[in-house]
Amino acid sequence: MSDNARTANTRRRRANVAGGRAGDHRVKTSAEEEAALLLRARALNVTIPRLMVESALAENDGKTAVQRRDELTELFHIRRLLASVSNNVNQIARAVNAGHGVDGELKHTLAAVDRVCGSLDEYMNASVVAR
């Protein structure tokens, strides 16, 4: 799932808070810094102020709430995929135990298991182990 597809239904601005926000901070940036901020904010489908506040207040990982939500969405996608593959493996096992032969479906299913496990390994190495 692409980043734009995940964030298409999200708010660009932060949610309102009771009483409003009293703090006002102005930051001057160079043309290069402004371009980099704009690119990153657009990639996450958020405003530059939201990007700056969430990045600065993020826990030690430096990720914004949007990035953490996108990672969680990806984990749920992987979980659904694993559940589907597990169901398929159970159906194959049931057929084999009933005396039916093993066909090419088993190879495809096991290849899918390998792909899902590879995706999990990549995620763990990139996101969790890097911390």
Give 43-60 pLDDT, tens digit per residue.
888 888 888 887 777 666
Extract the tokens encoding 100: 């039916």
Amino acid at 46: V
131 has pLDDT over 70: no
| Number of compact structural domains in the chain | 1
> What single string gives the DSSP state of each residue in 58-91?
S-TT---HHHHHHHHHHHHHHHHHHHHHHHHHHH
pLDDT for the residue 122: 81
Model-level pTM greater than 0.85?
A: no
For tokens 């390998």, the residue is 114
Tell me the C-alpha distance between 20 and 25, whole Å.
15
SS3 20: coil
Query: Domain containing 54: what range?
Result: 3-128
